[in-house]
Structure formats: C-alpha cells, structure tokens
Amino acid sequence: MTNDDVRVGVFVCHCGRNIAATVDVHAVAEYAKTLPNVVYVKENIYTCAEPGQNEIKAGIKEHNLNRVVVAACSPKLHEPTFRECVAEAGLNKYLFEMVNIREHCSWVHMRDRENTMKKACDLVKSGVAKASRLKPLEDITVGVEKAAMVIGGGVAGCQAALDLGSMGFKTYLVEREPSIGGIMAQLDKTLPTLDCSICILGPKLVDTGKHKNIDLIANAEVKNVSGYVGNFDVEVEIKPRYVDDVKCNGCGACVDVCPVILPNKYDMNLKPRKAIYASFAQAVPLRFNIDVDRCTKCGLCMKACDKHAINFNQQPKTRNMRVGTIIVAVGCEPFDATRKKEYGYGKYENVINSMEFERIICASGPTGGELVRKDGSHAKKVAFIQCVGSRDEKVGNKYCSLYCCAASIKQAMLIKEHDPDAQVAIFYMDMRTHGKGYEDLYDRAREAGIMFIRGRPSEIKENSKNKNVVVVVENTLMNEIMEEEFDMAVLALGMQPTENAKRISTLLHIPADTSGFFMESHPKLKPVDTPIDGIYLAGASAQPRDIKDSVMSASAAAARAGIPMTAGKVSVEGITSVVDLSKCKVCGICAQRCPYGAITVDTQKNTTSVLGASCKGCGTCVADCPFGALEQNHFTDEQIFAQIDALLEEEPEKKIVSFNCNWCSYAGADLAGVSRFQYPANVRIIRVMCSGRVSKDMVLRAFEKGAGMVLVAPCHPADCHYISGNVWAKKRIDEQLRATLQKSGVEPRRLRFFYISAAEGLIYANLINEMNKELQENLEKWKGQKLVRAGAKKVEAKPA
C-alpha cells in the first residue's frame, strides 16, 4: 500500500494530562508508525505551543514530510494554528490533517481506557488515510467593499457606526424605530454614577446623525442579505413616515392640532402622544411620523403644516447597497412580566416594571419625575423584586441578566434622592454588582438605608382596599416567611433577545445560542465575531450587557470590522467545489442545490461552472450530483471513503460511524468533550463541513464495510450554516435512503438522522448512549445483515 511519494508525519499530543491521562499517547505513536505512508512520528507535550510547533517544522525539514497529521484537540480550536505552522515550514497548508483525540476521545470516555485506546488509534488511522490523499490547494482572494452596515441604533450601534465612520468607512446605520437611541434613551439616570442618561446619550445621537460618513437610515428594516465577506448585498426597506423627511423641519405644529391621543411607546405607554408624533424630544433624526393605523385621516396636520410635508401617499422605499462588513447591534428586550403570573403585573395597578419605573422617575416622564401611583398618591414605600425573567428555568431564561441588580440599586437611590424619607426594600437572591464602581453604589445604598432582603418573593397580592401590594417572601437569611405591604412594587426585568432576533439570525445565517442570543465565534477569544466571516456582534444582542460593556463591545466590533476593510481583501478557503466537465451532463441539479448562486449552468454552451469566491464549501451539490461530476476540494469522495474504510477495518459491527457537520454537531460533540459528558467509545466521527456533503454512497459504504450503525447529524432545520444543506441531507438520507437499505437487507433502524446543535453536547452524548444500547441488543442480528448493492457509484479508496 505504501506510496513512495507520500511522506506522512504524525504528531501526537499529550496536551499535558488532558489526553495522556486517558490515552496512552506513546502506544498511539507506536501504532502510528505502523500505518502506511507514515515516515515519522513524534509525541509532544503541547503540540500547539512553540516547542511543539518547532518540532513539526523540524520534522518537515528533516524527514522531508509532505503531509502532516496532528492528533490533539479539536480542529475548530487549532487547525488554523497548525496550518500556519506547516505553511511556515514551506508546506501547502492544505496538506495538513487534524485528528481530534481530546474533545472526541480522551475527555468523553474517561472510564473505558481499552476502547478509548482503540478509538484513538482508529482516528489516527483515519486521519493518516485522509492525509495521504490530500492535495495542495490555494485560497481564493476576494476584494472587500470599504463600506459597512450597522443594524440597530441603540447605544452600541451608534458607537460602532461612529467608530467605523471615523475610521473613514462609509457606514450605513439601519434602525427599525423612527429614532435611534434604543433602551438607553428611555432611561432616567445611569449607574453607577447616577448621571442623566439622555444628557450623555443625546450628543452621541446627534453626532451619529450628522457624521459625514454615516448614512442614517431610520424607520427601516433589513429585508435581504446575500453575498459573503467583503461583498454583502443588502436590501433595506424604509417604512413610510407619511411626513416628508426633507420638507419637515420638525416644528411640531402638526402635533398640537391632531385630535388622536395614543399611548407613547417611548414612555412605556404611560404618557400620551398624538397620532402624528416624534418619538421623543431628543429624537435623531428629529422627524415626525404618522401612526396611520390609528390616524383618523382628518387632515388637520396638513392644514397646520406650512411646509406641506404631510403626504399620505408615501410608499415603502427600498434601498440596495453593497457593504464589506456587517455589525449586528439589535440589542435586547426587557422580559414580559405578565408571564410571571404570581407577581400580578398587569393585574394590580401598583405592580410596575423597571422600564416603567425609569419613565416615571424621569423628569420628562408622565408625572414630571414624581413617584406617583396610578391613583395620584405618592409612593412612600417601595419594593424592588429582582430576577424577574432571569435565573428562572420556569420561564426559560436560566441566565443572569447582569445589569438588573445594579439597576435596581440605582433606581432605589433615585427614590431616596427624591424623597429621603421613603422606605425602599430590595428582594434579591444574590446581589451581583460586578462592574467597576458598582460595589460602591451598593455600599452607598446600604448607607442610605435601603433594605436588602434575601429571598425570591413567591407571590405579590393586592390589598383591595387601598390597592397596596403585599409581597410574600421567605427571608432566607432569617429563615422566616414574611408578608409586607408596600405602596408599589417594581419588577426588575431580565433581558432577553429581541423578538426579531430569529429573523436576523436566518437573514444573516448567524446562529443563536440556546437562550436565543447570537452566538460568538469563540466565547473568549473571538467575543465579537460571529461564525460568519465579516459579520460581528455589538451590544446586548450577544448577551445581556450594561451600557459600558455594550459600548466596549461596539468599539471592538468596529475594530474587527475594520480589519478586512483596511486590508481591502480577504481570502476564502480553497475547499470549494469543482466540476469535471467530462462527466457533467449539464442537468442543473447542482445549481438548484447551491443557496449562494455559485454554480452557473449554461445549457446553451453546455457547461457548468463554479464561482470559487461565492462557493462556501458545503459540498451539497457534490453529494447530489447523479454523475459524480462534482468534487469538493479537501473533502473529496476518495478522502472520505478512505476514512470510512480505515475506521471500519476492525470489528466494524461494533462501531457507530457518525457524520458530523463542522458547525453544529461536530461542535456539539466538542462541547460534550469540554463538558466531560461521557458516552461509549465505539463511535467514530467523520467531519464534513455540512451534512449536505454526506452522500448516499458514504452511508452505504459504511454499511457495506459492516458498520453497526450510522449517524448523520446535521444542524437543526433552520440553523444550517449553509442555509439549506441539512434540508437536502434530510431528503436524501432520512427520506430516500431507508427504502434502499430495507431492500438491501439492512434494517433501516441502523441509520439515524438526528439534529444536533453546537449547544447540544449533552443531547449528543445521550444519543450515542442510546444508540449504543440498541446496537448491543441487536449486535448478533445486525452482524448477519450484509449490504448487497448493485450498480453503485464506484469510488475506490486508492492510495494517493
């Protein structure tokens, strides 16, 4: 089998004790020496550290290696590191293959050393088999449009736009509401210094509005996004205001005459506005809007407007632009307190939420800043209830919203500032005042006589006589149940993702985590990048954040977005599809599969072509080409078949072959590893970029080789990193292949199709446990089922 031209070097990592504690690294290294094409094997304590990398470079030089395999952690962590390392030693970076014996092996089978060993060896064998067949590839370089888009104009969005604009990039800032400002514009004072929110935000909004590089598009939504890093084509729909932006000079004469009084959303519906209105006094842009749904069309505003700016004929407008990068700053949304029935929000008039409190205590609010109840009396005794909609599994929000402990202290201090005699109590589970200066605020609050009572209230009742609220709580420090009457209760709302986060997520193909916030590319090292190149996160759209953190993340995102725009070009991985025109029959199936329009089928000229820069490398077209005319670079049929064969050489009937997509289930399995969720060691994972790449033949090949079970694990239906790869995988594998298996004498149960997200490590571990149980029960029966196939596509795993 040995091919003289191929010289593979294998580097096996101890990762300190992370791998070595469970896997006998030395034995794996010895085993690697026996594999075909392997000419050099080396153990490293930390392959990724500089000495380890130097050993790789030395190996390449001294042993003339032309393929490198590193058996260590997940390629999602260090593949880029090692690719760079081999490139520095003069090797094409695609002649490198990574074997995951940490997340997928040592960390998840800690109690079964024997089988863990077998697995580690198998994985190395599979890696070597693939490496032997690797071909050098070149990255594709594409130009980057020197313009950016920021979606969402809260404090984070404004900061990001200002930073980008000041770097000199044309920046489009798209805001859904008629004015920018977000939640911060609604706040009275900001913690920890209690300075006026709109006074510090207002100037920033004005700067944003008049910055020469910022094109502020308010009252608009992003409708469509296509393209890739450097070249996103965005379609924005601007909703009609029914007031001409250019003619309107913001005088407000129309407002006086409008007879329609409606609650103002900006004031949390506590203060009136007219059907024609500007969101708030400091709105940017300061333009008026007509709420057409509620307008009586009386026309009085038309009469009042000297500028003839009112135009009921306005239609939605569409603008198209090309940008190089996108920053998502759509923020978050306070929790809907009516969901916590036990607190009586919406039922009892003196239970209000923290956003309403901000408006009531604000001098420009409905009561001119007086803490007045609905019945007009002053509230003298106020309770704050923490963690409403946070740290609460019952409502589905397990996380801490971070800002609300400090925000409630701030609000309590504001009450004391207005009325030193007022009594204020804060009911909390834990006080979390994590930020700079926050603990000082907490101290000052205690000095000011604010009471802190530990315990999550179980209920709020109403005293029907005076409409006071009665808080029922177990004081966990005193170990007593108490019922205390207050004039008013304020619910400290948690933050949750905005209701349109899902839409943005599908539009931009950026995944969200289990709580619905957008996911970072890496929670620590790439906290403002999304998994999609060229798209970044700012502010509370990624997680609950206070203003300072929102602004910081916004500047970080702007800096990150500036990198490709400054460079003017980015390179796209060379793992694209290629057409073999000699086999292509120009049937057009591949073009239907491609969600990026990267494939052009020309029936006139009888050719098919793939545009490399647009191809993202999912491989869906390859798997569905009926003539085998397409191939995905770096994930060729030949390479993957070689992996399957290698993994199933010994005791195949006991093994589960798992095809995992790079973005979801592979990362999910990584998460199982990081979390040390244990599962049986007989599963063998083959990494593909997308489940769409898994062809029928791959599954059949595995059964042909006698695999006990096969699992194809895509992203959840709407989450595919390549938009629709998993849809085609489902059609092909889940819907069509079972019948074939049945006919060929293989029980369809042996094939599993199961969605696993990057966050579902535990579900993956449980699934393998469950599959293994079934496999053990049917071991003898299934062993006898031989796959018989006629006329299948023949791909031999030839040596390279």
Among other proteins, ligand FAD, ligand SF4, none, what binds residue 99 when CB lies within 5 to 8 Å by partner kind? none
Binding flag, residue 542, ligand FAD (CB under 6 A): no
CA 403 to chain centre: 21
Q: Provide the total of helices (H) and of strands (E) in the chain, helices listed first.
A: 22, 38
Task: Write down the least CB distance from residue 74 to ligand FAD, Å.
Answer: 31
In the complex, the smallest distance separating the C-beta of residue 574 from other proteins, rounded to whole angstroms, is 56
Query: Cβ 294 to other proteins, closest distance in Å?
Result: 6
CB of 195 to ligand SF4, least distance (A): 21
Contacted by 155, from ligand SF4, other proteins, ligand FAD, none: CB < 5 to 8 Å by type: ligand FAD
Cα 664 to Cα 759: distance, rounded to the nearest angstrom: 8
Q: Which does 329 bind (CB under 5 to 8 A by kind): other proteins, ligand FAD, ligand SF4, none?
A: ligand FAD
410 touching ligand FAD, by CB under 6 A? yes
CB of 365 to other proteins, least distance (A): 8
Cα–Cα distance for residue pair 100/768, rounded to 1 Å: 17
Which of the choices ligand SF4, ligand FAD, other proteins, none does residue 300 contact, using the CB cut-off of 5 to 8 A by kind? other proteins
Residues 183-222 that bind ligand FAD (CB under 6 A): 183-184, 187, 190-191, 221
**Closer by beta carbon to ligand SF4, 262 or else 431:** 431
**Residue 153 makes contact with ligand FAD by CB under 6 A:** yes
Q: Which two tokens stand for residue 339?
A: 């969901």
Return the residue of 138, 195, 342, 430 that touches ligand SF4, per CB under 6 A: 430
User: CB-based contacts of 249: which residues, under 8 Å, 6+ apart?
Assistant: 307, 309
> To the nearest whole angstrom, how small is the minimum distance from the Cβ of residue 164 to ligand FAD?
15
Of residues 193, 192, 155, the one with CA closest to residue 434: 192
Q: Does 617 bind ligand FAD (CB under 6 A)?
A: no
Q: What is the DSSP string of 116-148?
A: HHHHHHHHHHHHHHHHHT-----PEEEE--SEE
The two three-digit tokens of residue 698, written as one number? 């791959």
Residue 677's alpha-carbon distances to 108, 463, 668, 674, 772, in angstroms, are 6, 50, 11, 8, 15
Query: What is the rounded distance in angstroms from the CA atom of residue 670 to the CA atom of residue 72?
Result: 13
* Neighbouring C-beta atoms of residue 136, cutoff 10 Å: 11
Q: Are strands 67-72 and 8-13 parallel, antiparallel or unpaired?
A: parallel
Q: Measure Cα distances from 497 to 269, 399, 503, 677 in Å.
A: 21, 12, 11, 28
What's 392's DSSP letter? B
Closest CA to 489 of 389, 381, 360, 415: 381
**Binding at 310: pick from other proteins, ligand FAD, ligand SF4, none (beta carbon under 5-8 Å per type):** other proteins
Residue 376 interacts with which of ligand FAD, ligand SF4, other proteins, none, CB < 5 to 8 Å by class: other proteins
From the list 145-153, 338-346, 518-526, 728-736, the region that binds ligand FAD by CB under 6 A is 145-153
CA separation for the pair 724, 425 (Å, rounded): 53
Contacts of ligand SF4 in 471-500 (CB under 6 A): 492, 494
User: Per rule CB under 6 A, is residue 177 in the interface with ligand FAD?
Assistant: yes
- Least distance to ligand SF4 from the beta carbon of 407, Å? 8
SS3 content of the chain, % helix, strand, coil (to 5): 35, 25, 45
Binding to ligand SF4 in span 350-409, by CB under 6 A? 386-387, 390-391, 400-402, 404-405
Which residues of the shown chain bind other proteins in the complex (CB under 8 A)? 256-263, 269-272, 275, 294, 296-300, 302-304, 310-313, 356, 360, 366-367, 372, 374, 376
Is position 182 an interface residue for ligand FAD (rule: CB under 6 A)?
A: yes
Describe the crossing of helices 696-704 and 637-647 by its angle, rounded to 10 degrees: 30
714 binds ligand FAD (CB under 6 A): no
431-470 footprint of ligand SF4 as x/- string (CB under 6 A):
-x--------------------------------------
The footprint of ligand FAD on this chain (CB under 6 A) covers a number of residues equal to 40
Instruction: Report which residue type is found at 680.
Output: P
How far is the C-alpha of 201 from the C-alpha of 199, rounded, in Å?
6
Q: Distance (Å, rounded) from C-alpha 355 to C-alpha 521?
A: 32
Residue 430 contact, options ligand SF4, other proteins, ligand FAD, none, Cβ 5-8 Å cut-off depending on partner type: ligand SF4
Residue from 174, 537, 556, 648 binding ligand FAD (CB under 6 A): 174
Pick between residue 359 and residue 732 the one whose CB is nearest to other proteins. Answer: 359
Q: CB-side exposure of 571: number of CA atoms within 13 Å?
A: 7
Alpha-carbon distance of 45 to 67, in angstroms, equals 21
Nearest to 431 by CA among 439, 440, 422: 439
Residue corresponding to tokens 């790439």: 526
Q: Determine the Cα–Cα distance for residues 247 and 305; give it in Å rounded to an integer.
A: 10
* Minimum CB distance to ligand SF4, residue 477 (Å): 16
441 belongs to the binding site for ligand FAD (CB under 6 A): no
Of the residues 47, 550, 614, 662, which one makes contact with ligand FAD according to CB under 6 A: 550
- Is-contact 441 433, C-beta < 8 A? yes
Task: Indicate whether 652 belongs to the interface with ligand FAD (CB under 6 A).
Answer: no
Alpha helix positions (H), 585-636: 589-593, 620-624
- Listed ranges 147-155, 313-321, 381-389, 585-593: which one lies at the site for ligand FAD (CB under 6 A): 147-155
Residue 395, amino acid: V
Nearer to other proteins, 299 or 597 (CB): 299
- Structure tokens, 692: 């769409």
358 interacts with, out of other proteins, ligand SF4, ligand FAD, none, CB within 5 to 8 A per kind: ligand FAD
Q: How far is the CB of 414 from ligand SF4 (least distance, A)?
A: 17
The helix or strand, by DSSP H or E, that contains position 515, with its residue range, turns out to be: none
Q: Which residues bind ligand SF4 (CB under 6 A)?
A: 386-387, 390-391, 400-402, 404-405, 430, 432, 492, 494
Q: Which residues bind ligand FAD (CB under 6 A)?
A: 151-157, 174-177, 182-184, 187, 190-191, 221, 329-332, 334, 354-355, 358, 403, 407, 410, 493, 498, 500, 504, 539-540, 545-548, 550
